Structure 1
Amino acid sequence: MIILEFKAKGNKHQYFAIDEAIRTVKFIRNSCLRYWMDNKGVNKFDLNKYSAVLANNFPFANELNSTARQSSAERAWSSIIRFFDNCKKKVPGKKGFPKFQKNCRSVEYKQSGWKLSPDKKSITFSDKKGIGKLKIKGTWDLWRFDKKQIKRVRIVRRADGYYVQFCISVDIKEELEPTGTAVGLDVGLKEFYTDSTGNTEPNPRFYRTGEKRLKFYQRRVSRKKKGSSNRKKAINRLGRHHLKISRQREEHAKRMARCVVRSNDLVAYEDLRVKNLAKNHCLAKSINDAGWYQFRKWMEHFGTKFGKVTVAVNPAYTSQNCSNCGEVVKKSLSTRTHTCKCGCELDRDVPSEPLREHNAAINILKRALSTVGHTGTWVVKNLNASGDPTSTLPGSGLVEQVRSLSEESPRL
């Protein structure tokens, strides 16, 4: 399953109709959630039926396509079922009780209510909202896919315009030649990651770089009168810059993940709870700017696509344990050098010598190999036989040109 995204081009009346459809989606979703709160034992099918009741009672809801109303009800049910799953799993802290949506940015159609043009360069929405025909611009060719493969179509509103997304059911697996190598990764704030062979990738710090410009746009917003058109323009400009930074971070994580997965047969990384780590107010901004979750998400996606093994290991004591003898050497965050009684001296994040392996990354790789059993043993034998350390750097020649995030996504 992949998602292809195209920029939508229309006029002001069409954009107003899209906004009206998005507001209707929010109304149906919140109404279904209220219906669930007031009636015990309501299930997914009851919410779908209630969306039809809303269409009969409210003319503006009836103008929206029936499949789009069902998708809105499914959004409410997804938040409900996520709350129940968190309760069953006994997730610590808040369980995420469903809340009424304040800001909605998309409307989703299933396999009706829209029609592609023969040249696949425009799409027409046939419901009574009046969206009509929209031109779509992008680098992907939709003619390669049959219409039956398109399961859902979504219109998304962002700060820089409107986009049309196509959810296409297609096999994304690719066969690659085995490399006979394995690698362990330790993410950090000073360096984006350090692998078990000593290679490091610098942290780009996109938010830190653009923070000065963000403050400038934020000051412009605060100076404008509330409710004025100038304030709306200033807010849009601020949102566009935030969107640019988020896209840069996502693209960087995608490019790095693709490179690492294609270069190795097994990739080991820490099973970090980024949400809990970000509760540290001294490091929250830097942790969120690093994009560790996006990096892990794309590694798991490319691992499935290319048939490679990705293992998330317990991060406990990976920096404290000595990778040579296994002795626990306790150190604080300010201590950057690992020194053990056995004579092993390693930099905690960055190798002190080009050929010296990183302590935590080696521990992560060892734990992963002990987890995967025979697969890990096979990888180690091939690694020792070849004698050449694998490269995870972008310039290793194993990275293909990666297009934008909108062209390939692991989920809808």
Structure 2
Amino acid sequence: MLVMEFKAVLKESQKKAVDEAIRTSKFVRNKVLRYWIDNKGIGKKELYRYNTQLRDEFKFVKDLNSHACQASVENVERAVARFFDNCKKNVPGKKGFPKFKKHYRSVEYKQSGWKLSPDKKSLKFTDKKGIGKVKLKGTWDLWWFDQKLIKRVRIVKRADGYYVQLCIKVDNSENLEVTGYALGLDVGLKEFYTDSEGRTEPNPRFYRKSEKRVKFCQRRVSRKKKGSANRRKARNRLGRAHLKISRQRKEHAKRLARCVIRSNDLVAYEDLKVKNLVKNHCLAKSINDAGWRQFREWLEHFGQRFGRITVAVNPAYTSQNCSECGEVVKKSLSTRTHVCKCGCRLDRDHNAAKNILNRALSTVGHTGTYKNAWGDLSSTKPGSGLVEQDKSVNQESPDF
């Protein structure tokens, strides 16, 4: 799958129509979720029947395209399935019980309710919400794709405007030549990552650099009267500041992951539980600012796209063990140099990266690893429990 995103050029009347469509989509989702909670044991057939009842009962729901309403039901269905799946796997902590949505920012259409213009520079939405013809502003070229290949169309509202995302069913995988290189990565806070060759990538710290601006915008919001137009404008400025940081972080992780995957046949990294790491309130802000999880997702995505092997290994004792002799050398977080009796003297993160690579190479040859090398699945350390890694979508933007 390939996701193309365009900036939407809308009139004020169209913006109100899009907002109404988004509110209707949220209404359907929350009503269907309430119906599921009140009627235990019902299946997805009952949820779709209830969606039909809502369309008969409320006119503003019927004005929205029927497939867009079905997409809202599918969101509930996925949330319920994810919750039961976590319960079956005995995932520690909260299992992710489906919640009602207060802030909803998108409406999704399937293969009806919209029509692509002949010049493929605009979309016309044909339901009764009154959105009409939407001009697409972007650099993507849609001339290469048949309209039948477009499986989903989503309108997303962000702080800086509205965007249209097109999900296109095409094979965007590429075959690269074998490089003969394997790399281990150790992510950190001082450096973004250190590889097994001793090379480092500086940590950009996007949030830390923009924190002064974010705090200024936050103070402006808190000073405005609730419900006023000035508070709404101040909230929008705050949202734009956060949106800029998130885009910087995403592009940074995307660029690095692509370069690493293209340059190596095997890439190993730590199976870090970031959700648990951020419980340390002294480091939570810095860990979230680094974006380790996002970097890992892009590594797995490009690993599938380019047919490379990606291996997530257990991070236990990768910093303590010697990469040369395997001897355990105890050290605190403040100790940045690894010194062993065997004569090995390395930077702490360099030693950890070499240990990560050695553990990954020890898993090659297990069942499933060579299959993953051909791009069928993303490879993981056997028994690591990274089932979701094999379900990552093969697309340019995992946000779709």
TM-score w.r.t. the length of structure 1 is 0.89
Corresponding residue for residue 34 of structure 2: 34
Q: Is the aligned partner of 1:217 residue 2:217?
A: yes
Q: CA deviation at 1:329?
A: 1.0
Runs of 4+ in structure 1 displaced over 6 angstroms?
A: none
CA distance in 2, matches of 1:264, 1:227: 54
Q: What are the superposed Cα offsets for residues 143-201 of structure 1, whole Å, 9 maximum, x if unpaired?
A: 11111110000000000000000001110110111111101000000000000001100
Corresponding residue for residue 175 of structure 1: 175
Structure 1 contact 207–289 (Cα < 8 Å) conserved: yes
Structure 1 contact 3–168 (Cα < 8 Å) conserved: yes
Q: Partner amino acid for 1:199?
A: R
Cα gap change, 1:411/1:212 in structure 2, threshold over 3 Å: closer, same or farther? closer
1:408 to 363, 387, 396: 396
Q: Partner amino acid for 1:408?
A: E
Q: What are the superposed Cα offsets for residues 200-251 of structure 1, whole Å, 9 maximum, x if unpaired?
A: 0000000000001111111111111111101100100010010000000000
Structure 1 contact 267–310 (Cα < 8 Å) conserved: yes
Structure 1 contact 190–203 (Cα < 8 Å) conserved: yes
Corresponding residue for residue 383 of structure 2: none
CA distance in 2, matches of 1:222, 1:250: 28
CA distance in 2, matches of 1:31, 1:369: 50
Structure 1 contact 4–166 (Cα < 8 Å) conserved: yes
CA distance in 2, matches of 1:340, 1:186: 19
CA distance in 2, matches of 1:374, 1:288: 34
CA distance in 1, matches of 2:51, 2:124: 24
Q: CA deviation at 1:335?
A: 1.5
CA distance in 1, matches of 2:45, 2:206: 44
Corresponding residue for residue 369 of structure 1: 361
Alignment gaps of 5+ in structure 2: 371-394
Q: Partner amino acid for 2:356?
A: I
Q: What is the aligned residue count?
A: 375
Corresponding residue for residue 7 of structure 1: 7
Q: CA deviation at 1:374?
A: 8.5
CA distance in 2, matches of 1:258, 1:371: 23
Q: Is the aligned partner of 1:154 residue 2:154?
A: yes
1:360 to 343, 352, 359: 352
Corresponding residue for residue 384 of structure 1: none
Corresponding residue for residue 203 of structure 1: 203
Q: CA deviation at 1:99?
A: 1.0
Q: CA deviation at 1:78?
A: 1.1
Corresponding residue for residue 188 of structure 2: 188
CA distance in 1, matches of 2:265, 2:87: 37
Corresponding residue for residue 403 of structure 1: none
Q: Partner amino acid for 1:346?
A: L
SS of alignment partner, residue 329 of structure 2: coil
Q: CA deviation at 1:344?
A: 1.4
CA distance in 1, matches of 2:44, 2:5: 29
SS of alignment partner, residue 360 of structure 1: helix
Q: Partner amino acid for 2:348?
A: R
Q: CA deviation at 1:115?
A: 0.3
**Which is further off, 284-293 or 40-49?**
40-49
Q: Partner amino acid for 1:267?
A: V
CA distance in 2, matches of 1:410, 1:155: 16
